[in-house]
Structure 1
Amino acid sequence: MAKTPDSRLGKAQPPDASEEELRSLLRARKAKRLRDARCEMLDTVDRLRFEGRKAELGEALRELGELERRLPDTDAPRRHYEESVAVLRDAGDTLKLAHSIRHLGDVHYDAGRVDLAEPCYHEALSIYRGNSDARPLDLANAIRSLAVLKADAGEIEDANRLWREAYHLYVEVNVLTGVTESAIRIALLARTQGDSEKAREWARRGSVAADASGDGERVRQIREIRASIDG
């Protein structure tokens, strides 16, 4: 018996999707996953609110805010973080409170509300510094946020001091992305102050950390920054 031809052989293949179409499709899929996760988290928040579980509610609201920040065109993250702060302040869980306050500061800063962001960072740092159970990484991340704000405001000395503290904390916990960023930020501040020797030394430290991380994109960025400093 003759073999039946495979109908797929003669079937016209669809044209290859363009790179932009593929990126658009991936973005749509990611957005759908985020929206699905958001719906699940909203259900969790409602349940915890009904059950009166304040500490868990405060954390869930913060996680909901983090999800909302990854979705476009919404002011919901600020509202969720503000409620998280209020709930956790009432619950008395200071470390979780500090975490939510820092994220609220980030939301304010990203929206250009620097006058509201800075007090958040200072309060979060005060809590972390005053609690022996605070994780060094949480402290480092809070310092980082304030350092970015200070540098952007032109307060170079404060920014430099904060970035150095963050650098040593990131080294302590072996978070190479934090080590790399801190070193490069210090290098760029040194260049701003006209200290080429210090700029090159800190850029070298950042380059070593980037190489150790194995992040090719970060390595490329560091090489460009080092070239601009050396140039």
Structure 2
Amino acid sequence: MGPGDAELLTLKAMRVLRAAPVVAYPAPLKGSGLARQIVESVLSDGLYRIEIAMRMRFNLDRTSAQTAYDRGAAAIATHLAAGRDVAVLCEGDPLFFGSFAYILARLGDRFPVEIVPGVNSIAACSAVLQQPFALLNDRVVIIPASRPAAEIEDALVKAESTAILKVGRHWDKVVRVLDRLDLRRQAWHIERASQTGQQVRSLATVEATVERSSTYFSMILVYRRGERWLR
């Protein structure tokens, strides 16, 4: 589904969605969730579709999510066995930290699957910054902010470009690592790239690690190559 802007849906994704009689997607306990919101304009075509909302708690306890995927996979399997195609919505790219992987693991060996790639969050954030994430022989590292501080520091030291994903409640830890390495001036924080409420901020302007927190839909991009790529 891409990172949030409906205009970043691919032509193929829109074709598949419009043709599918059944649409499944992860969702919070209340409301529709981001994936469904992204495609609202595409699915508002007056056609009847069956919708499968896989409702779960979005927290550290994976029990709720695994139960939701189990139930969702069972419902999807019922429709597939009856000959009805099912489009499974997934934010970003289905196989880049994508929730679709959990449905694929449950049903991939039982039914034919077509995976439509999507614009991932790093591509969206790089476009917002107008900075290339990787060039020539650059070493790049992608690491979730939930990893230990020592691992994040090791990644930053070894790579020309680092993407620290899903910053959320790990903001203080990540900024402390950047301070130790004196990398704040080369780091950018992007929230909700391409979505309503998008925010971009240079970490050089943040006075203290306690000044602000972050959302789950956010990342910090760190560039250590300087301006060598210009020459």
TM-score by length of 2: 0.29
TM-score by length of 1: 0.29
Structure that is richer in helix per residue: 1
> Relative contact order (C-alpha < 8 Å, sep 6+): which is higher?
2
Structure that is richer in strand per residue: 2
